[in-house]
Structures are given as structure tokens and as C-alpha cells.
Amino acid sequence: MNAISRLATVISLASLFPLSALAADSKGSVEVVHWWTSGGEKAAVDVLKAQVEKDGFTWKDGAVAGGGGSTAMTVLKSRAVAGNPPGVAQIKGPDIQEWGSTGLLSTDTLKDVAKAENWDGLLSPKVANTVKYEGDYVAVPVNIHRVNWLWINPAVFKKAGIDKAPTTLEEFYAAGDKLKAAGFIALAHGGQPWQDSTVFEDVVLSVMGPEGYKKALVDLDQKTLSGPEMAKAFTELKKITGYMDPNRAGRDWNIAAADVIGGKAGMQMMGDWAKSEWTAAKKVAGKDYQCVPFPGTDKAFTYNIDSLAVFKLKADRKGDIAAQQDLAKVALGKDFQKVFSINKGSIPVRTDMLNDMSAEGFDSCAQASAKDFLADEKTGGLQPSMAHNMATSLAVQGAIFDVVTNFMNDKDADPAKASAQLASAVKAAQ
């Protein structure tokens, strides 16, 4: 078809379906700002979009690329300042409280849905409190990610002569040496601040245990931040950095995951959204790849809860408010919780599903994750991820990111100095 006849078709279709008629078909619309843009992430969010559209609403996609979401958060802030926030946005952890205090999130929109769907009964208090502001739901939690995973390509391990997944840092280094000697990238990584700090928090957890992790990265205790154990964590971090590809600067996390999936690299330290890339590549957990807790962290679970916050809209935008409510209702429904998490690599946020994962058709990684989540909740092993906005304000997180990334990029950096810098940077940002 040439350009003129294409245009003619568009014009005649437009006269058949005038815009007003198309708009009238939609019961309301919802714009969703999020950062789920990798192949696997997109497959997951498309499930939500399809359901909202099936319910008769229009989905406006506000995707902002950039793993970890800092670009999305910058865009969201400038839109809010300009008086043009979206209906819904991916916001997490303590940041929800900060947005709540601006008065821009709605404390009313989710009231009826939460009551009718019994959210208080479905969610553990830890999760519910994260998404409530002054007692009211202002966001709907969609899933739980575990951050402290190590992803392994067993075929690459085999070629390098490694017969088992490492369970200690010593075994991790031994595997790294063998991978390097066999010509592989030992540890795939993208040199971006949030990815650097994802590795850093795993190392802190491994060296200091969940109690030390909590004191340092959740309670922000000055003595622990500047103490000898933190210096030891930086020493291990330096060693680990030596196993990464030197060309890692700026690389996206899913490109690093592709190196492991494609057999160029042996391992990746990443939260279980990495599994979404394996799933999208049609690989099977336990067969084509292995997921193990990062060495030394098997009794701990750093959690990262994705949630969608709801902005206040003018009362006359009834259809758009109904769209926000529909999205929230869908997001905590059993069907969506299952399909979304299977695509996303996470586990459901509903306790009834967490308690019965085998019946839900989840793979071995997800089943292990749910089991550990429930067990670690009782022992103190369950800790919020600093790198994924669950533990501190974004200002404190930014200060930690800077110290960690500078340390990793400076081969002469001194671990003891880095821990002192960490403590003072955190203090200044508080």
C-alpha cells in the first residue's frame, strides 16, 4: 500500500470510528508510571494492562526505562512539582510515607476496595504497614522480590570444572578463579550505582549477618557503619569486584543477565527479577539455571516489595478514579498474583498463596523463596533491601550509593577509609 492510500484508509477508518466514540467506549483511564521495561518485566506488566483493559478502562503506559527506578522517580517528582502527577506510580518502602506526607496520594480511593477484598486479612502486617499512610492504604503491593540471590549457569560451571554452587565466600572466589581461567566472565554485572549497591548489601549481609545488616543499613548505626566489620565487608567487595567484567560501566542489569543466559558468564548477583529474563528466554529453573542464596546469606532474605501508589484526582474524574480502583483490585487478585509473579520472578504478596506455593504452580526458585520468606520472618533474617528503596530515605540511599560506587571504581580505594566515609555520608544525608 502506498503512502496516499494508507492515509486514505486512516481517514476512512477515522470517519467510521470518530474519536469521541472511541473515548466513550472507555469507562475511564489510568496512567501508570513504572520502570518495568526489560523483556521479562514487560511481559509481567502487560498482564496487568490486559486485565485493566478487559475491565473496560484505558491504560496509559508511563514506562520510564532504567533499572532500580531512580530515573522513574526523578520523572515522577518533576511531574508532581508541575502539578501533573499520573494516576498511579510505582513507589516503594519508606518513600511511600514521604509521598504520603506531601498530601498528593489519595487516602480515600482504596478504602472500599481494601475493605471489600479484605486486604488486612490477606497481607502480613509488615507488608500492609509499608503501603499504608497514617492507617489508610495509599498503595497496592503487587509482589515480593528477594534480593540476595546468586544466578548460575550450570553448563558454564561444568565447562569450567566446577561441580557445585558456592556456599561460602571462599568457594565463591574458587569458582570465580576457575571461571576466569576457563575464559569466562566470572560475575556478570552492570556498573550502575543501584547494581553496585545490590552487590554491596549482599556482601554486608554475608559478612555481618542479618543483625549486623540491620544495625548498619536499616538502623544506620554510626558505630556499625564505621566499624571493623564494615571495613571487612568493603575488603570482600573489592575482591568480588575483581571477578566482574572490566567493561561493565553503565551496562543494564538485563544485559548482564543475558551474558549468563547466553553462556558468556557464569554468575550474576541480582534480585529475582533476573529470573524474568530466564523465563522470557524459555529457560527452566533447576535445569538450565540455578538460583542459590548469595554465599553466607542462606538464613536471610532481603525483601523488596513492588507497590503501586494511587494519586489524588479531582472528584469529578469519576471514571479515572474507578480505573485506579479496578487496577488495585486486579493487582491483589489471586489470578493476577500468580501470573504476574511467574513472569516477574517474584513471589505473591498474599499470605494465603505464600503458604501454599506448590499448589500454585511456581518453580523451585519461587518455592524456596516463599519458604525462606516465611521462615526468616520468625528469626529476624527478613530484612528490607537498602539498594531497593525499602530500608532508608532516598537521600540516605543516594549517599550510600555514592560511597559504594566510588569505592568499586577505584582500585586503590582503602576499605577502612570507605567505612569511615560511609558513616559520615549517611550522617550528612539524615
| Footprint on residues 317-376 left by ligand BGC (CB under 6 A) | none
CA-closest candidate to residue 34, choices 5, 6, 65: 65
DSSP result, 325-381? HHHHHHHTSHHHHHHHHHHHT-B-S-HHHHTT-GGGT--HHHHHHHHHHHHHHHHT-
Stretch of 63-71, 101-109, 314-322, 327-335 lying at the interface with ligand BGC (CB under 6 A): 63-71
Torsion angles phi and psi, residue 149, rounded to 5: -110, 150
Q: Based on the shown chain and the rule CB under 6 A, indicate whether residue 401 belongs to the binding site for ligand BGC.
A: no
190 binds ligand BGC (CB under 6 A): no
How far apart are CB 21 and ligand BGC at their closest, in Å?
37
From the list 31, 41, 202, 363, which residue makes contact with ligand BGC (rule: CB under 6 A)? 41
* Local structure of 132: helix, strand or coil: strand
67 sits near ligand BGC (criterion: CB under 6 A)? yes
Binding-site residue total for ligand BGC (CB under 6 A)? 10
388 lines the binding site for ligand BGC (CB under 6 A): yes
CA–CA gap between residue 366 and residue 356 (Å, rounded): 11
273 vs 301, which CB is nearer to ligand BGC? 273
Q: Is 275 in the site for ligand BGC (CB under 6 A)?
A: no
Kindly tell me which residue out of 30, 32, 145, 338 binds ligand BGC, with binding defined by CB under 6 A.
Answer: 145
State the minimum distance, in angstroms, from the CB of residue 145 to ligand BGC.
Answer: 6
> Is 306 near ligand BGC (CB under 6 A)?
yes
With CB under 6 A as the contact rule, the residue among 30, 51, 59, 69 that binds ligand BGC is: 69
Residue-wise DSSP of 152-185: E-HHHHHHTT--S---SHHHHHHHHHHHHHTTSE
State yes or no: residue 193 binds ligand BGC (CB under 6 A). Answer: no
Considering the complex, what minimum distance in angstroms separates the CB of residue 305 from ligand BGC?
A: 8
Q: Would you give the binding string for ligand BGC spanning residues 235-274, x where CB under 6 A is met? A: --------------------------------------x-
3-state secondary structure of 114: helix
**In Å, how far are 189, 255, 263 from 175, measured between CA atoms?**
16, 22, 15
Q: Considering beta carbons, is residue 41 or 95 the nearer one to ligand BGC?
A: 41
Pick 386 or 403: Cβ nearer ligand BGC:
386
Q: How many helices (H) and strands (E) does the chain have?
A: 21, 12
Measuring CA to CA, which residue among 163, 364, 186 is closest to residue 269? Answer: 186
Supply the DSSP symbol for 69: G
> Residue 216 class from Cβ within 10 Å (0-12 exposed, 13-18 middle, 19+ buried)?
buried
Evaluate whether 94 touches 131 at the Cβ level (below 8 Å). Answer: no
Closer residue to ligand BGC (CB): 65 or 116? 65
* Site for ligand BGC, rule CB under 6 A: 35, 41, 67-69, 145, 273, 304, 306, 388
